[in-house]
């Protein structure tokens, strides 16, 4: 029996998590493994109801579960609140920190049936299968910040970028281990020609290479990496990088697959894993049964694999998604001429039925 805390959050979050839970029920039926799920308030909705985007009770419940499934948070309604009450800075970042999930795994896989949905040419993206490992609990996101009025007029801001050897080493190890189970190629991304933090990053990652002689390590500057990702993305296998670079490069990598609506993520390293689609709350399409639930469904697959070691069950879910796409079903974000349009819940239902019948 596994205990899962579900944080539906804001915008399309409740719809995509409902779809993913439908698929989880199918996995339970198919495998006999029991999943006990319990929702908790998180994000803008939690602020509206309790005055804080991350209620104590939610945090306690997350820490007391085997895994956490998160939809998305945020929206224009909460954008003007003081920073510490906003869903992103007041809930999502502290949750990551409190769960100590320092390694964020973001795979970008192009399903062959979707190779034409990418804005890049089919021959550039077909067969793409890369993973960005993003450091998630350090760097600019969590460094001290200051804003001061200047006597001569204007404002001065300070953001602090801090990393320790230990913080770099632990996430680099996750990336080496992952590369070892894949095509054994690791690219560490930094800005070592300018930043001291990047020079330490490079030193520490290089220092680990000897412990992973089977993995081929190379270093790449982040600007070049951004270019290489659209020029020839299949040169990569696993990428590892600090928090901010990882945020940017993982959005870019996601678009290679056709839609950010396809991409799951797993945040690991602490006692409890956190699983979330990499897309945001998309308030413009919320409540319309339009959002693509596949990113959240594939996040459940990652949960099965990484938190529960149910590799076969994870494979069933991934295979079911693949089959439904092969059969031509598409949500609006990946719609192409001649395909069969479906809404959020229909897409989830189709995947769930495949899992049950597999
Ligand atoms: C992500 C998001 C978040 C981040 C935002 C919502 C704070 O963009 O998970 O990539 O920057 O980490
Ligand atoms: Mg992001």
Which pLDDT score is estimated for 76?
Answer: 96
- Annotated catalytic residue, options 247, 275, 306, 354: 247
Instruction: Give 328-336 contacts, CB < 8 A, sequence gap 24+.
Output: 328/113, 331/261, 331/290, 331/291, 331/292, 331/293, 331/294, 332/285, 332/290, 332/292, 333/259, 333/260, 333/261, 333/291, 333/292, 334/114, 334/117, 334/258, 334/259, 334/261, 334/262, 334/292, 336/116, 336/117
Centroid of ligand 2 to alpha carbon of 33 (angstroms): 33
On whether the 129-256 domain is CATH 3.40.718.10, my answer is: yes
**Class of CATH domain 1-102+259-358:** alpha beta
Judged by DSSP in three states, 53 sits in coil
What number does the ligand 1 atom closest to the CA of 89 have? 7
Which pLDDT score is estimated for 115?
Answer: 86
Q: Report the nearest-CA residue for atom 6 of ligand 1.
A: 88
Centroid of ligand 1 to alpha carbon of 243 (angstroms): 10
**Mean pLDDT to the nearest integer, 294-299:** 98
Which pLDDT score is estimated for 259?
Answer: 83
Which pLDDT score is estimated for 158?
Answer: 98
CA–CA dist 192, 220 (Å, integer): 9
Which pLDDT score is estimated for 104?
Answer: 98
pLDDT tens by residue, 59-95: 999 999 999 999 999 999 999 999 999 999 999 999 9
CA–CA dist 318, 297 (Å, integer): 9
pLDDT bracket for residue 230 (50, 70, 90): very high
pLDDT tens by residue, 170-229: 999 999 999 999 999 999 999 999 999 999 999 999 999 999 999 999 999 999 999 999
Tell me whether the CATH fold assigned to 1-102+259-358 matches the one assigned to 129-256. yes
Which pLDDT score is estimated for 133?
Answer: 98
Give the residue extent of every domain in the chain: 1-102+259-358, 129-256
Let me know if 98 is a catalytic residue: no
**Distance of alpha carbon 120 from its chain centroid, rounded?**
22
pLDDT tens by residue, 125-135: 999 999 999 99
Which pLDDT score is estimated for 117?
Answer: 84
**Mean pLDDT to the nearest integer, 324-352:** 96
């Amino acid at each position: 029996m596994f205990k899962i805390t579900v944080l539906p959050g804001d915008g399309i979050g409740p719809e995509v998590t409902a779809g993913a839970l439908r698929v989880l029920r199918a996995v339970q039926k198919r495998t006999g493994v029991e999943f006990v799920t319990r929702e908790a308030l998180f994000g803008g909705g939690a602020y509206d109801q309790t005055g804080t985007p991350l209620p104590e009770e939610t945090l306690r419940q997350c820490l007391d579960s085997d895994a956490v499934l998160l939809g998305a948070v945020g929206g224009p309604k909460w954008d003007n609140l003081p920073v510490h009450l906003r869903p992103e800075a007041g809930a999502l970042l502290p949750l990551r920190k409190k769960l100590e999930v320092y390694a964020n795994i973001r795979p970008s896989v192009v399903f062959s049936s979707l190779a034409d949905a990418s804005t890049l040419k089919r021959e550039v993206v077909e067969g793409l299968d890369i993973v960005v490992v993003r450091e998630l609990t350090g760097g600019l996101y969590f460094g001290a910040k200051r804003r001061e009025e200047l006597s001569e007029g204007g404002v001065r801001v300070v953001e602090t970028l801090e990393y320790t050897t230990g913080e770099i080493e632990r996430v680099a190890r996750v990336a080496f281990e992952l590369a070892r189970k894949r095509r054994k190629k690791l690219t560490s991304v930094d800005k070592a020609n300018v930043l001291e933090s990047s020079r330490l990053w490079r030193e520490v990652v290089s220092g680990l290479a000897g412990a992973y002689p089977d993995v081929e390590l190379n270093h790449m500057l982040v600007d070049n990496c951004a270019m290489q990702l659209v020029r020839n993305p299949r040169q990569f296998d696993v990428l590892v990088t600090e928090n901010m670079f990882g945020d940017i490069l993982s959005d870019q990598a996601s678009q290679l697959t056709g839609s950010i609506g396809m991409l799951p993520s797993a945040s690991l390293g602490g006692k409890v894993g956190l699983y979330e689609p990499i897309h945001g709350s998309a308030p413009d399409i919320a409540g319309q049964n339009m959002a693509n639930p596949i990113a959240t469904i594939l996040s459940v697959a990652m949960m099965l694999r990484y938190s529960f070691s149910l590799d076969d069950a994870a494979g069933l879910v991934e295979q079911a998604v693949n089959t439904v796409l092969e059969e031509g079903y598409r949500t609006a974000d990946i719609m192409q001429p001649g395909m069969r349009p479906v809404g959020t819940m229909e897409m989830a239902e189709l995947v769930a039925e495949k899992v049950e019948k597999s």
